[in-house]
Every structure is written in C-alpha cells, then in structure tokens.
Structure 1
Amino acid sequence: MSAEPFAAHESEPGIHLPVPPPEGFTVDDLFTLPDLPPHTELIDGSLVFVSPQRNFHTLVNDLLAHGLRLTVPGHLRVRREMTVVLDRRNAPEPDISVIRADADTGLEQTRFRAEDLVLAVEVVSPDSEARDHDAKPLKYAAAGIPHFWLVEMAEGNQHPVVRTYELDPATKTYTLTGIHHDKLELSEPFAVDIDITLDALRRL
C-alpha cells in the first residue's frame, strides 16, 4: 500500500482523510485504506467521495436496472454500483454495469475489470456532472467498454433523458447513437425496451 496513514483535517476536527502519496493513490489503496466512505471512486490517482444523492438518481437507477434485467440475455448480468478497474490509477463505480456472466465470481466479489463490461451507465448528479460528461466517458472508451449511456434530468418536467453511445474500436472514442426521452428502445448491446417517462419514475 502506497498511502500514508489518515490525517485529521485541520479545519474540521473529527474528519480524517488519507494523505495522498506523491504519485497519487492506486487501486490497491482503494481496496485497503481503512474507513473510506461507501462508493468512493479512484479517478487519475485521486479519491472521489460521493455526495448524498437525489431521489431522481435512485429512482432512475432502479428503473433502468429493472428494465435491463427483463431483457438481458443469459450470457450477461446487470449490476449496480460496483467498482470497475480500468487501470492502476482509475477505478470508477458506474451506476449500472452490464457484465459478462462468467465475470461474476461470487457474492464476495468487490470489483470487475473493464474487459468484463459491455455497458457502463452513469446517472448525472450535480456534483458528478464534469466527471460523467468528460472524464469517465473518455476513460471507459480508452478501456474498450463497448457501450456507454449518460442519463440526465430534463429541464421542465424532470423526466430522464438517456444518451446512448457505441465505441468506435478504431479510434477508441464513443459515437452518439441516440437521445431518448420517453422510451429507451434499442437493439444493441441487446434488445432493450424501457419506459423512461416521468410517470414510470413516479410508479416506483
């Protein structure tokens, strides 16, 4: 482990934060540092702590995970909020991942590898907007994850808007394949048909 012991934050007694090593944290640190908050991510060697989530975030995750599980083929599985190791200094936690079934090694598993995923989904929160729009898609694409969805709250009636992307393997960048407002209907990475209206959220 490369990190130093926790140090008290001088201006806020009672809050203890790990002191980063000069080269930044690694995946090993993420899984061995004591008392990290739940859902801590590692981005470019920095620990990222998650703020309290809006009801929208939780309900959209429920809606999409349930909808995906209705049509996911037998060789794939749907998982929520699991760490995905992209490289030594990057281990984000997508809101939803669709993984290959043979990557599921049991109930005590704590992480997946980038090559295990066929889809990563990020639901944008106010504190994660820059990461979800910029850093994460670039890193998911560079790691070769074939599909990426970005979900946001629409202005006005606050229904989910899902932007779907597919990886161009030649350039290792994502290409926008659709913007979905009321119904998420796709044939890739498998057949998907999910009602994403505001009414669908309110029924949960």
Structure 2
Amino acid sequence: MSVAPKASTPSWPTPPEGGWTADDLDRLPNLPPHTELIDGSLVFVSPRTLFHSRAVSFFEWQLQSLAPAEFEVIREFTIDLDRQNRPEPDVVVVREEVVEDPGQTRFPADAVVLAIEVVSEDSVSRDRETKPLKYARAGIPHYWRVEGEQGRAAVHVFELEPTTGAYTSTGIFRERLKVDVPFPADLDLTRIKVRRDKVQ
C-alpha cells in the first residue's frame, strides 16, 4: 500500500486576499534584504552588480556632501506611496524633519524630494515604467534613473510637471551631471568605475 506524498509547504509567504500591505513589510518574518512591495506583491531583488553598488555609493556620498541642512540623503530605504506600494529606491533625498529615530523603517512619500534608481538586469521595466509612474502619482518632484552603458553611468533626469502630474525629461547626462534642483549639484560621473584602481 503506497502512501500519498505530503503536500509541501511553500517556504515563501503566502499573500492574503487582496495582497500584502505596506505595514506587512514590517511584520513578515525572514524576508530577504531589500524586499519591496509593488501593487500588493512582494518583489525580491537579485544580487547587486559591482556597477550597481558603486553607483549607489557614489550618489549617496556625493549628494550628502552637497545637500543643504534641511535634507537627508539615505540609501536603500523604503517609502510609503500608498497601502499597496512600498518601494525601496536606491537613494532618496528627504526632508530632514521626517528622519525620526534609529528604529524607523520607512519615509512618507510626501517627504521625498528625489528618488534615484540604479537599473539592474531584473529591474529594467520597474525602473523605467512602473516606479516612475508611481513616484509621479505620489508627487515626488524629482526622479533620476541611472543606467549602465559599458560600465559607465548614464543618468536620466526627470522633473514632475505640476499641470500633468507626470514626469518630463530634463536631460540625459553621461560624463557630467549639472543640475540646479532639488539643490545645485555638479557631479563627475566618470568617477563611477567598476575597477577600484580607476576611481579617483
């Protein structure tokens, strides 16, 4: 007499009816680092490439050195867009007053002045289509998308158009990024290199 095989229990969280909520990200146990919530679904990220890591570090440190005192620059931190969307931009610039305590896990979208996404192979459609649409709807005034082009950075800069509520492109920058908003910045993009011995 054969024994019927036991149904295996999935090792990943099973979503409730209607999907996960922004609050669930703080309650679910054993989630992988950098888990995001997009449209009520959990999104797990692939391992970071060296280009991705270097680009995130570059923008974090460069913008920290340039941001006025009323802003904070934070890497890889989630933001509340709505009940079913809590993405984690690679770098955010937020108003200083929302940085409350060491146990904080997210920022409200209305405190974010700039969201930066460094595109990975598995995030192309999210970073080019899904996230900018959601960031614009949440009223985030500035969005930068960083693409790797043969190991070099190309930064696509967008600004929220108040009358349409959508982003409009204000330029694509490859060697030098010079902007006046959300605060003046003049960045040498050639410093984002994969080989450490070429970083100046």
Q: Compute the TM-score of the two structures, normalised by the length of structure 1.
A: 0.89
1:183 counterpart residue number: 176
How many pairs does the alignment contain? 189
Q: What RMSD over aligned residues (CA atoms) do the two structures have, in Å? A: 1.2
1:95-124 CA distance string (max 9 Å, x none): 000000001002111100100100000000
Shift of 1:8: 3.2
Write the distance in 1 (CA, Å) between the matches of 2:55 and 2:37: 24
Structure 2 gaps of 5+ residues are 1-7
Quote the offset at 1:158 in angstroms: 2.1
Q: Which residue of 2 aligns with 1:13?
A: none
Q: CA–CA distance in 2 between the matches of 1:99 and 1:8?
A: 41
The percent of aligned pairs where both chains have the same amino acid is: 48
Larger radius of gyration: 2
How big is the shift at 1:21? Answer: 1.5
* Counterpart pick for 1:122 among 117, 124, 130: 117
Tell me, yes or no, if the aligned pair for 1:67 and 1:193 is still in contact at 8 Å: no
Q: In the aligned structure 1, how far is the partner of 2:151 from the partner of 2:45?
A: 22
Residue 167 of structure 1, aligned match among 155, 160, 185: 160
Paired with 2:172 and 2:92, the residues of 1 have a C-alpha distance of 19
Give TM-score scaled by structure 2 length. Answer: 0.91
Paired residue for 1:92? 87
For residue 152 of structure 1, the aligned residue among 147, 160, 166 is 147
Whether 1:45 aligns to 2:40 is yes
Give the distance between the partners of 2:24 and 2:70, measured in 1 at CA: 32
For residue 52 of structure 1, what is the amino acid of its counterpart? P
User: Could you tell me how far 1:187 is from its partner in structure 2?
Assistant: 0.6
Residues 1-204 of structure 1: pairs in structure 2 closer than 5 A: 8-9=9-10, 16-154=11-149, 157-197=150-190, 199-201=191-193, 202-203=198-199
Per-residue CA distance 1:68-120 (angstroms, 9 max, x = gap): 11210111010000010100000000000000000100211110010010000
Instruction: Provide the C-alpha distance between the structure 2 equivalents of 1:109 and 1:173, rounded to a whole number of angstroms.
Output: 29
Q: In the aligned structure 1, how far is the partner of 2:164 from the partner of 2:53?
A: 33
Q: Distance in 1 between matches of 2:39 and 2:27?
A: 18
Question: SS of the counterpart of 1:193?
Answer: strand
* Secondary structure, aligned partner of 1:22: coil
1:200–1:35 distance in 2 versus 1, CA, 3 Å = closer
In 1: Cα distance, 2:30 partner to 2:163 partner: 41
Give the CA deviation at 1:200.
4.3
Q: Which runs of 5+ in 1 are unaligned?
A: 1-6, 10-15
2:3 corresponds to = none
Runs of 4 or more, structure 1, over 6 Å off, are none
Change in 2 beyond 3 A, CA 1:200/1:57: closer
In 2, distance between residues paired with 1:152 and 1:80?
A: 17
Deviations 1:128-147 (A, max 9, x none): 11100110000000000000
Output the CA distance in 1 between the equivalents of 2:134 and 2:109.
10
